[in-house]
């Protein structure tokens, strides 16, 4: 596991125990170098060994909470009191360890445990101060002022290094966690943007699929299923809102001759071009759909027969004006009527009759009921 993937509390645990090991063994080496009481050196060395054992146990078991508590209890109520009595109490360098130990408690413990252990540690310090005041001979004394000064300075030096290491580790850990948080936020924002992009794409694809489902693939107009459904809805809406509604059924004149003479591919081209002409000459709210092979149903909402006739006549005229690469012309015929009842089948039958009437009258004609 990379170092930046290790939880911050575990990284601090590693640093604290390494600092504890350093403090214990350095204190033992210092006492051996100065030729002081062997018991004090052995006590420091033993504390270092115990700290190493606790650290190894953590590395193996990963039981952070339990070993943190054991380590803090050991340093606060075993190592610190023993070293207080063996290094001259307030006359030596051990008071500086008090500050470092308080920092260790703050780093390794949380919540109620931290408050309890810190309170007990403060009480233990108070007891040691009281013992030293009442029984000054219990604390070890130094052979000379120089020995005391060396021990004092060494303790200060060790504690400065330890405090600096702990603070640096905490600051670096905080910076790494902050960077991880920023990366996570950036990744979250990126993921959110990607999700929004995918949602937009999904929405666009759904719209495309919906459009495909209601559109005739050849002409680009609405297919028969949609135009019939729309017709029923528009008839109902017109009746409820008392609006006028006009319908037209358009058919390409002699389209079978086009297919037979020039082939179905060219016939498809003729249908597609005429459908584009029809759509481009309708109004914004008008609807056109492919009703059959070469038939188109046109719905003119909120439109009376007179206005509807003008629209469809414009369409007929524009189609007749189209020029073709083949030496022929294409026209359309149609039936037009204003809706007066809500029976769709009857309306379509009447439109069909008007369409055939236009065909019989010579084609290229829009027929509408005589009474209109």
Q: Which of 37-51, 229-243, 330-344 has the lowest mean pLDDT?
A: 37-51
Backbone angles phi, psi at 298, to 5 degrees: -115, 130
User: For residue 98, is pLDDT > 90?
Assistant: no
Residue 223 and residue 290 in contact, taking contact as beta carbons nearer than 8 Å: yes
Highest averaged pLDDT of the listed ranges 39-43, 61-65, 225-229: 225-229
Percent of the chain with pLDDT over 70: 75
Q: Which of 61-75, 209-223, 267-281, 323-337 has the lowest mean pLDDT?
A: 61-75
Residue 118 and residue 105 in contact, taking contact as beta carbons nearer than 8 Å: yes
User: For residue 333, is pLDDT > 90?
Assistant: yes
Domain ranges of the chain: 3-186, 224-367
CATH assignment, 224-367: 3.30.70.270
Query: What is the structure's pLDDT at 225?
Result: 93
Question: Confidence class of residue 296 from pLDDT cuts 50, 70 and 90?
Answer: very high
How confident is the prediction for the chain on average, in pLDDT?
A: 81
Q: Which of 43, 13, 15 is nearest to 27 (CA)?
A: 43
Q: How far apart are CA 165 and CA 170, in angstroms?
A: 8
Q: How far apart are CA 65 and CA 87, in angstroms?
A: 31
Return the axis-axis angle of helices 8-34 and 64-74, rounded to nearest 10°: 30
pLDDT digits (tens, 9 = 90+) for 138-194: 655 556 666 666 665 666 666 666 666 667 766 676 777 777 778 888 888 888 888
pLDDT digits (tens, 9 = 90+) for 311-331: 999 999 999 999 998 778 899
Q: How many CA atoms lie within 13 A of 319 on its CB side?
A: 30
Q: How far apart are CA 206 and CA 18, in angstroms?
A: 61
Query: What is the structure's pLDDT at 172?
Result: 72
Strand order in the sheet with 366-367: 287-290, 295-301, 245-252, 332-338, 366-367
Q: What is the DSSP string of 84-147?
A: HHHTTGGGSSHHHHHHHHHHHHHHH--HHHHHHHHHHHHHHHHHHHHHHHH-GGGS---SSHHH
Q: How far apart are CA 348 and CA 247, in angstroms?
A: 9
Query: What is the structure's pLDDT at 2?
Result: 47
**Beta carbons within 10 angstroms of residue 319's beta carbon:** 21
The residue that leads in pLDDT, 40 or 267, is 267
Backbone angles phi, psi at 197, to 5 degrees: -65, -45
Tokens read off for 59: 């590395």
Query: What is the structure's pLDDT at 65?
Result: 75
Question: Confidence class of residue 8 from pLDDT cuts 50, 70 and 90?
Answer: low
Diameter of the chain by CA atoms?
Answer: 136
């Amino acid at each position: 596991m990379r170092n930046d993937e290790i939880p911050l509390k575990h990284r601090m645990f590693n640093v604290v125990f390494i600092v504890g090991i350093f403090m214990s063994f350095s204190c033992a080496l210092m006492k051996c170098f100065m030729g002081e009481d062997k018991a004090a050196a052995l006590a420091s060395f033993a504390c270092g060994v115990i700290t190493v054992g606790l650290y190894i146990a953590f590395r193996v078991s990963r039981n952070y909470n339990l070993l943190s508590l054991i380590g803090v209890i050991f340093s606060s109520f075993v190592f610190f009191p023993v070293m207080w009595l063996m290094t001259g109490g307030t006359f030596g360098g051990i008071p500086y360890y008090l500050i470092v130990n308080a920092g260790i408690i703050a780093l390794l413990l949380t919540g109620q445990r931290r408050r309890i252990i810190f309170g007990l540690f403060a009480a233990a310090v108070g007891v040691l101060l009281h013992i030293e005041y009442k029984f000054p001979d219990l604390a070890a004394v130094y052979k000379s002022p120089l020995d005391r000064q060396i021990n004092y300075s060494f303790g200060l030096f060790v504690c400065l290094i330890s405090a600096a290491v702990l603070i640096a580790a905490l600051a670096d850990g905080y910076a790494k966690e902050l960077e991880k948080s920023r990366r996570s936020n950036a990744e979250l924002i990126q993921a959110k943007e990607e999700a929004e992009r995918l949602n937009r794409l999904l929405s666009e694809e759904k719209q495309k699929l919906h459009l495909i489902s209601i559109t005739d693939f050849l002409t680009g107009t609405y297919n028969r299923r949609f135009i019939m459904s729309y017709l029923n809805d528009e008839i109902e809406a017109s009746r409820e809102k008392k609006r006028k509604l006009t319908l037209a059924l358009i058919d390409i004149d002699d389209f079978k001759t086009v297919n037979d003479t020039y082939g179905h591919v060219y016939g498809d081209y003729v249908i597609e071009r005429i459908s584009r002409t029809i759509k481009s000459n309708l109004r914004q709210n008008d609807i056109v759909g492919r009703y059959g092979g070469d038939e188109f149903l046109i719905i003119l909402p909120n439109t009376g027969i007179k206005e509807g006739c003008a629209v469809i006549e414009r369409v007929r005229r524009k189609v007749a004006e189209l020029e073709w690469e083949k030496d022929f012309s294409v026209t359309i015929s149609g039936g037009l009527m204003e809706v007066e009842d809500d029976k769709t089948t009857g309306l379509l039958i009447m439109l069909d009759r008007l369409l055939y009437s236009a065909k019989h009258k010579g084609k290229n004609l829009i027929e509408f009921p005589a009474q209109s």
